[in-house]
Chain A
Amino acid sequence: MAENEKDVDLSPQMYWKENVRLLSILLVIWFTVSYGFGIILVDVLDNIRIFGFRLGFWFAQQGSIYVFLILIIVYIRGMAKLDVKYGVQEDQAAKHKK
């Protein structure tokens, strides 16, 4: 929304707000797949079968781990974009000084 307005709020406070919003969305998914699908709703989901897996069991032992990985990748990408948008990214000079 902010992109279309003339005076875009690029304050550190706004950066932090957007950061927290991204975090909250990702953590809701994190909670849903692990605690939601893997523990709370496991019996319901176990009625659905995918190949030899019962779905709830699959989420608890495999699926949630794959989702965790995707969440971190989305987070890294999202934050890198946010850093550039607000001009708070680090100097490239600091990269792998070796």
Chain B
Amino acid sequence: MELQLMIYLFVGASFALYIGIAIWAKAGATKDFYVAGGGVHPVMNGMATAADWMSAASFISMAGLIAFLGYDGSMYLMGWTGGYVLLAMLLAPYLRKFGKFTVPDFVGDRYYSDSARVVAAICTIFISFTYVAGQMRGVGIVFSRFLQVDVNTGVVIGMVIVFIYAVLGGMKGITYTQVAQYCVLITAYLVPAIFLSIMTTGHFLPQTGMGATVIDPATGQDTGVYILDRLDGMLTELGFTAYTDGQKTKIDLFFITAALMAGTAGLPHVIVRFFTVPRVHDARISAGWALFFIALLYTTAPAVGVFARTNIVEAVHQQNYEEMPQWFYTWENTGLIQVQNPTPDAEGNIIMTLEDGAPENFVSIDRDIMVLANPEIAQLPNWVIALVAAGGMAAALSTAAGLLLVISSSVAHDVLAKVVLKGKMSDKAELLAARLAAAVAICIAGLLGIYPPGFVAQVVAFAFGLAAASFFPVIIMGVFSKRMNKEGAIAGMSVGLTFTFIYIVYTRFINQDPEIWWFGISPEGIGTLGMILNMVVAFTVSRMTSPPPAHIQELIEDIRIPKGAGGATHH
């Protein structure tokens, strides 16, 4: 079957599935809308969390990023998985026992303060919008590449789909749609990776194929050379750093990894997923399943990176421009592959190069094409390419939907119902407000996708840095320190947030010279320092002010013990 027809078929079928699930799981009450009725099985919840968490960036960009960063790519691999250890042990069970709908709910109640609640709600909204803008753009790009439509049309199609299942189904609709989306995206990721691994090394598992010896494609014989050694050799010869050596300083790697871990554990749309399981025990199990499902992709990604980088170097370096395979020209048309200053030699041939610092005939390759182009490069059947298209869309849509839900619950529940109307809102009115908020949020997200503020790619550091410097320490201290009071928490949050915010704005937009970085810490890693500052200030201030009231101390004792956790409630 023709490729384009196959893509329409795969993508169309997967969309029909998502919308069908949304109608089946329609939300009837606020409890369904916010926490899916609180009765989701931990395995399902783990899958939904994985889909929620793995965005277009994980699916499309990460393997390419690692392919170009080599060892330095480890910060993403460890950072984005290590956070789940913190989530499972330090946050999820206690927040589940606390049993409310949102993260600002916890902050507001634990620190007996509506100002803390509002600060938390604003952080939630800011972090989520930052994130969702990139997702919507991702949706548009994937649509435009695979459905042959304009990027903006792509964004609008994405908006309509998310609108149907997020507004109608709420958390309940999203949870079950995300389970389906996880299945689609992981299949789409693993199938080409397994093919590549078998073709390159003869290993079925990409995870072991990455450390295996290369098979010569011409003869089918094992060459006895490890693929990592060969890649290291090829890259150093071209004047690049060896793949298994990094360029970043240790301190920067350390801080970025820590910021990504704490940021992951503090991202509101991830935390809220642990409110949807029936018991505290399930919240712990659910975090384990989430990491398992994420690890399937995250341990495959570095292998894909190695195979893709090797394939690209071999396919392009010292080859004649006129004799490239079809995929090269397809991607050149999209502008994602470019030959700089092509100059023909005496015979009129353009021999391309990948050498570091080459002024002419240098091929620049966008990192984002690695995963999407892999099936074409490896000449896999058309249905695999169609599957990858459906997977990329599933990844982008599931994260966008999860984020939009968090935004709508923050607006409707935390700000409107809890602070502005002070609990005088009926369940029905709140559900309507939440749906309206979700609808408005989708429109804003769509606009951000169509008119992306130039800095979207740069502000992702914001989302993680701010989550690491604000939510993460506030929740941990709320559970683990009975002495932590309102004054300490508010002071800590303000200092951590302000410091991180100013540092990122200054180093990103005002003075981009890495020379001025404190201790060589890049903006991506500064959230870690913000987090430490937050804790130090909070500790100091709390010791100088009076301890929290007795009923709060009882609340803390109560959330530390699993027994007696009911469903997530309003009151």
Contacts and interface: CB of A to CB of B under 8 A. Distances in A.
Contacts of B109: none
Contacts of B208: 51
Contacts of B73: 61
B281 A38 contact: no
A71 B562 contact: no
B81 A89 contact: no
Nearest to B97: A90
Contacts of B295: 65-66, 68-69
Interface string A41-70: 010001000111110011011101110110
B90 A53 contact: no
Given A52-B213, A62-B302, A76 B288 contact: yes
Chain B interface, >50% SS class: helix
Interface string A65-98: 1101101110110011001000111100011111
A90 B279 CA distance: 7
Contact of B561 (A15, A27, A94): A15
Contacts, number: 144
Contacts of B226: 51-52
A72 B278 CA distance: 19
Contacts of A95: 278-279
A88 B561 contact: yes
Interface stretch (B249-257, B467-475, B483-491): B249-257
Contacts of A87: 563
B356 interface: no
Q: Choose among A27, A54, A72 the residue with the greatest number of B CB atoms under 10 Å from its CB.
A: A72
Contacts of B292: 69
A69 B295 CA distance: 8
Given A26-B89, A52-B211, A96-B278, A66 B285 contact: no
Interface size, B (range) = 35 or more
Interface size, A (range) = 35 or more
B562 A35 contact: no
A71 B85 contact: yes
B561 A64 contact: no
B281 A62 contact: no
Contact of B562 (A20, A52, A64, A89): A89
A68 B278 contact: no
A8 interface: no
Contacts of B90: 23
B281 A75 contact: no
Q: Choose among A16, A52, A61, A98 the residue with the greatest number of B CB atoms under 10 Å from its CB.
A: A61
A72 B287 contact: yes
Contacts of A66: 295, 299
A97 B278 contact: yes
B89 A88 contact: no
Given A27-B89, A83-B281, A65 B299 contact: yes
A80 B283 CA distance: 12
A34 B254 CA distance: 9
B275 interface: no
Nearest to B248: A39
A46 B246 CA distance: 12
Given A46-B244, A64-B78, A72-B287, A34 B257 contact: yes
Given A34-B78, A90-B281, A98-B39, 4 more contacts: A68-B81, A75-B284, A95-B279, A97-B278
Q: Which 10 A-B pairs give the minimum distances between C-beta atoms?
A: A52-B226, A60-B74, A52-B211, A72-B288, A53-B211, A88-B563, A61-B302, A51-B211, A57-B244, A88-B561
29 contacts: A15-B560, A23-B90, A26-B85, A26-B89, A30-B85, A40-B250, A50-B211, A51-B211, A54-B244, A57-B74, A58-B211, A60-B78, A61-B302, A62-B210, A65-B77, A65-B81, A69-B288, A69-B292, A72-B89, A72-B287, A83-B562, A87-B563, A88-B561, A90-B565, A94-B279, A94-B565, A96-B39, A97-B39, A97-B278
